[in-house]
Structure 1
Amino acid sequence: MPDKKLTRAFICIEFPDEVIKEVARVQELAGKIKFTGKMTELENLHLTLKFLGEIDDSMLEEVRKKLNEIKFDVFEAKLGKIGIFHLKGKPRIVWIKVEGKEIYELQKKIDDALKDLFKKEERFMSHLTIARIKYVRDKSGFDEKISKIAVDKIKFKIKEFKLKSSELKSIGPIYRDLEVYKSKA
């Protein structure tokens, strides 16, 4: 029996140009602080609402159907402060908060729609990853300098979310749209 084709998939929100420009500015400032790691490519910026992992075509079809049933109105969000996720006391991810209660409401609708297929997200936090850190010599100095970077609190409208595939390559992930879900308003 042949192996089933698996697709690495996730559900996300993408950002308008003015947000991407602000992230580029913040990345430039963060890049002046010494660390070993990688900035998120601007074309790959997104806010993950739910990571689905490796799924086969029949499950992917089921996900598409269930996501099509979700109804939501256009809503506004805004960029918030910069932050760092640590793992075992070491900085690993530099992120920018994305504020807006409707993001959490949309994420819950997605979780509810897919509850029979996937585990519920326990610790969803609305953010966009701007850099992945491998090594920092001066951890406390790094954290302090990153926290001083001011982010312009740009407001923007969210009119859709996407189901995307992710193919991991040596050059970085390759993302493709599988489906776009527009607001019902």
Structure 2
Amino acid sequence: MTTRLFVAIELPEDIQDELAAQGAGVPGARWLDEDQLHLTLRFIGEVDGVKYRDVVAMLGRLRFPPFDLSLFGAGYFPPRGPTRSLWIGVERSEELERLHRAIDTGLTRLGLPPDRKRYVPHVTVARCDGTSAGQVGKYVMARALYRSRRFEVNAVHLFSSRLNPKGSVYELEESFDLAAGV
């Protein structure tokens, strides 16, 4: 049996509430429940039980000083063709980039394939199906200057993802304190 995994940063509740309150007015968009909102650091994919334990051990060894982040702006994927998701961006952060690289390197050393896509830190807020380009443009423009309060990142979380007809459902598997021993 395999489990579909990803590593993420959980958002503070007040920021989840703030993002959930913005979720309306775009026909064809399915807004994620606020408890499903997160900042993905690295999608892992399907792993078996042995590899799962290896991933948990690697994440448990990560040591990283706490740092602050702020969400900023909005966008959509993919950049060409029909929109599949709407997202809120993240203010540029060297610490976040280093954390992403450390996780990617650790997973690659475990024999998992490296992340081939350029890392674009974001929080997916909606999945789209048949959403007009005009509606997507209005949403993105209305949030172009959106900025959340700054929040501290001191942990990463391992989530499992189950696919169902209504979309993915995420479940917290493990949490890792980055600052332990720093």
Is this a same-fold pair by TM over 0.5?
yes
Task: Note the alpha carbon deviations across 1:122-178, whole angstroms, 9 max, x for none.
Answer: 3111100011110024x2x22431122232332111110011111223344332222
Once the two structures are superposed, residues 31-64 of structure 1 have per-residue CA deviations (whole angstroms, 9 ceiling, x without a partner) of: 213x213111111011111111111000111111
Mapped pair 1:10 → 2:23? no
Residue 66 in 1 paired to residue 58 in 2? yes
Distance 2:14 2:8 in 1: 18
Tell me, yes or no, if structure 1 residue 83 matches structure 2 residue 78.
Answer: no
Matched residue type, 2:115: E
Partner of residue 131, structure 1: 126
Per-residue CA shift, 1:87-117, capped at 9, x if unaligned? 6422221100122221111111101111122
Q: Which residue is equivalent to 1:177?
A: 172
The answer on whether the counterparts of 1:12 and 1:163 sit within 8 Å (CA) in structure 2 is: yes
Q: Distance in 1 between matches of 2:83 and 2:3?
A: 30
Equivalent-residue separation in structure 1 for 2:19 and 2:6 (angstroms): 22
Unaligned runs of 5+ in 1: none
Q: Find the aligned partners of 1:169 and 1:142 in 2 and give their Cα distance.
A: 26
Aligned AA for 1:62?
A: D
Q: Which amino acid aligns with 1:165?
A: S
> In the TM superposition, what whole-angstrom CA distance separates every residue of 1:73-92 from its partner, at most 9, and x where no partner exists?
11100010011113642222
1:121 aligns to 2:115 (yes or no): yes
Cross-structure match for 1:110: 103
Mapped to 2, the partners of 1:94 and 1:101 lie a distance apart of 24
| Cα distance in 2, alignment partners of residues 93 and 168 from structure 1 | 16
**2:156 matched to 1:164?**
no
| Residue of 21, 25, 28 corresponding to 1:32 | 25
What amino acid is the match of 1:168?
A: L
Where does structure 2 lack aligned partners over 5 or more consecutive residues? none
Q: What is the number of equivalent residue pairs in this alignment?
A: 175
Greater strand proportion: 1
Deviates more, 1:152-161 or 1:114-123: 114-123
Residue 13 of structure 1: how far off its partner (Å): 0.7
What is the root-mean-square deviation of aligned Cα atoms in Å? 1.7
Normalization by structure 2: what TM-score?
A: 0.88
- Equivalent in the alignment of 1:51: 43
Highest CA radius of gyration, 1 or 2? 1
TM-score by length of 1: 0.86
Q: In the aligned structure 2, how far is the partner of 1:127 from the partner of 1:47?
A: 6
